[in-house]
Amino acid sequence: MRTRTLTALISLALLSACSGGNSASIPKFENVSVHDPSVIKVEDTYYVFGSHLASAKSKDLMSWTQISSGVTDDNVLIPNVTEELSETLSWAQSDTLWAPDVIQLADGKFYMYYDACRGDSPLSALGIAVADKVEGPYKNKGIILKSGMAGTGDDGEVYDATEKPNVVDPDVFYDKDGKLWMVYGSYSGGIFILELDPATGFPLADQGYGKKLLGANHARIEGPYMLYSPETDYYYLFLSYGGLDANGGYNIRVARSRNPDGPFEDSEGKAMIDARGTAGVLFDDPAYAPYGVKLMGNYEFVNSEEEPSASGAGYVSPGHNSAYYDEESGQYYLIFHTRFPYLGEKHEVRVHQMFMNEAGWPVVAPHRYSGEKIGKYSSKDVTGEYKYVNHGKDITAEIVESENIKLNTDGTISGTVTGTWILSEGHNAKLTINGTEYSGVFLREWNEAAASNVMTFTALSAEGISVWGSQVSPENK
């Protein structure tokens, strides 16, 4: 029976008691369900806002507290929401709200960009609600975009769902020069970007739906989120490909540009504007799967015969992420929702640390963030047996199960894949696996399922394929 992950959840406390470490060193996690979490930090607290008016907060990105959930009139974010947003819900023929974004503008107020969609069509509305405090209450300021109409769209042209946007999934951000932008879109005609008025938060005049960045013909690409890195001077556009449910093959990708409004490219230099579906074919995944750097998809770290059954861990359909860069520490965080192997549609928020590799692309730590900082490691630290995952480039509901490999003391890799490995500058990783070179980092972090600290690696190829390794926990070597 496939009970590894369920066993992991039940047995963690027992494993923690037997881990041999100081209990004070065991991270404390409190989990919440917020679909499509969009992050904002206010003073010393991180907040995530998601679909169905769900929200949560945390001071450490590990222990979360639920604030709200459900589009009901007693929701603290938007009291009397069915009346407050009646125009939006009526237009979208919906009784719920989809992925929002919250940003604090120069006036000190918090602007929530909310949206609703019928779901089986791009009949959607996107608007703004404003509050004095991040936890609300938010008051509606009105709809700024509509889509899915028969006839003329908001750009003055006949609305065509294969080329025009579905006006959902907004992310509002400042660029490095202080200009305010909104990137948005899901399936339908693709991902678009609009410039906003920083004084009001509303779109600047005469832009229509804005500029297309990628997508068309109902390509399964959505959830755009922009992150600027002062370290690399690139704008990173995160995207989710595939379907969001447990059988949808959701996966997280990224492209980059020197400009907030593009053009964006992937690690092979392919123009993301060409990432689009095929005319007349619904959800033609193979047409756009080659585009974008794939950071994470379905996977499971499978326990070896020597390990307890609670060692298994993995994700199913991770996606619709946001991201955060901490200027003080220089650390990057990826915040997303995910489902889990063999647990159906149950979903929770997860946070993983990210690092920039030598080519200036983000690589994602294999295990959830537990307060770790990257260190200086020796060859002795990184040699040993690993559970190895190659995330590939396809859009698939299949779960990639880890394979066993070994990083040997002579710099070779053996096991189900072969090659070489190099450690440099204390943590930089260069792995050549079956003839392909991958660049990333080594990182010691907490493996929650095994209740122990383990060495890991995360690395990316020039083709945009991510590989992860999680060392077999020391007591089970």
Segment 380-397, tens digit of pLDDT: 999 999 999 999 999 999
Does 388 share its domain with 332? no
Q: Is 222 a catalytic residue?
A: yes
3-state secondary structure of 475: helix
Does residue 197 sit within a domain? Answer: yes
In tens, the pLDDT along 274-289 reads 999 999 999 999 999 9
pLDDT score, position 18: 38
| Kind of pairing between the strands at 180-184 and 191-196 | antiparallel
Q: Is 30 a catalytic residue?
A: no
Verdict on whether the full-model pTM lies above 0.85: yes
Does residue 221 sit within a domain? Answer: yes
Question: Residue 458 — pLDDT band, cuts 50, 70, 90?
Answer: very high
Residue 457 is part of a domain; what is its CATH number? Answer: 2.40.128.10
Residue finishing a domain among 302, 333, 364: 364
Please list the residues that pair with 191 across neighbouring strands: 214
Question: Residue 451 — pLDDT band, cuts 50, 70, 90?
Answer: confident
3-state secondary structure of 23: helix
pLDDT score, position 310: 56
Does residue 10 sit within a domain? Answer: no
pLDDT above 60 for 114: yes
Does 303 share its domain with 432? no
Does residue 179 sit within a domain? Answer: yes
**Percent of the chain topping pLDDT 90:** 90
Residue finishing a domain among 364, 389, 420: 364
Name the residue among 425, 426, 419, 347 with its Cα closest to residue 388. Answer: 419
Does residue 16 sit within a domain? Answer: no
Question: Residue 450 — pLDDT band, cuts 50, 70, 90?
Answer: confident
Does 314 share its domain with 394? no
Q: How many structural domains are present in the chain?
A: 2
Does residue 45 sit within a domain? Answer: yes
Does 272 share its domain with 344? yes
Does residue 86 sit within a domain? Answer: yes
Range of the domain at 440: 379-471
In tens, the pLDDT along 53-105 reads 999 999 999 999 999 999 999 999 999 999 999 999 999 999 999 999 999 99
Q: What values do phi and psi take at 59, rounded to 5?
A: -95, -15
Instruction: Over range 36-65, report the average pLDDT.
Output: 98
Question: Which structure tokens are listed for 181?
Answer: 């932008």
Contact at 8 Å (CB) between 41 and 335?
no
**Percent of the chain topping pLDDT 70:** 92
Averaged confidence pLDDT in the chain: 93
Does 84 share its domain with 177? yes
Pairwise CA distance, residues 366 & 89, whole Å: 39
pLDDT above 80 for 108: yes
Sign of the four-CA dihedral 193, 199, 205, 208? positive
Question: Could you tell me the strand order of the sheet in which 221-229 lies?
Answer: 221-229, 234-241, 251-257, 293-296
Q: What is each CA distance from 75 to 71, 88, 191, 430, in whole angstroms? A: 7, 17, 30, 49
pLDDT above 60 for 429: yes
pLDDT above 70 for 328: yes
Residue finishing a domain among 364, 395, 422: 364
- Which burial class, exposed, middle or buried, applies to 424 when counting CB atoms under 10 A from its CB (0-12, 13-18, 19+)? exposed
Residue 142 is part of a domain; what is its CATH number? Answer: 2.115.10.20
pLDDT above 70 for 17: no
Pairwise CA distance, residues 139 & 402, whole Å: 48
Question: Residue 5 — pLDDT band, cuts 50, 70, 90?
Answer: very low
pLDDT score, position 312: 62
Does 411 share its domain with 298? no
Instruction: Over range 406-421, report the average pLDDT.
Output: 98
Q: What values do phi and psi take at 65, rounded to 5?
A: -120, 125
Give residue 437's region: left, alpha or beta (phi > 0; psi -120 to 50).
Answer: beta
Question: Which structure tokens are listed for 12?
Answer: 């963690």
Does 357 share its domain with 421? no
Does 360 share its domain with 387? no
Q: Which of 36, 101, 285, 300 is catalytic?
A: 36
Does 422 share its domain with 344? no
Question: Which structure tokens are listed for 22?
Answer: 């100081």
Does 357 share its domain with 383? no
3-state secondary structure of 426: coil
Pairwise CA distance, residues 138 & 357, whole Å: 40
Does 109 share its domain with 148? yes
Does 301 share its domain with 384? no
Does residue 371 sit within a domain? Answer: no
* Rounded-to-5 percentages of helix, strand, coil across the chain: 10, 45, 50
pLDDT score, position 477: 54
Q: Which of 84, 101, 222, 300 is catalytic?
A: 222
pLDDT above 90 for 257: yes
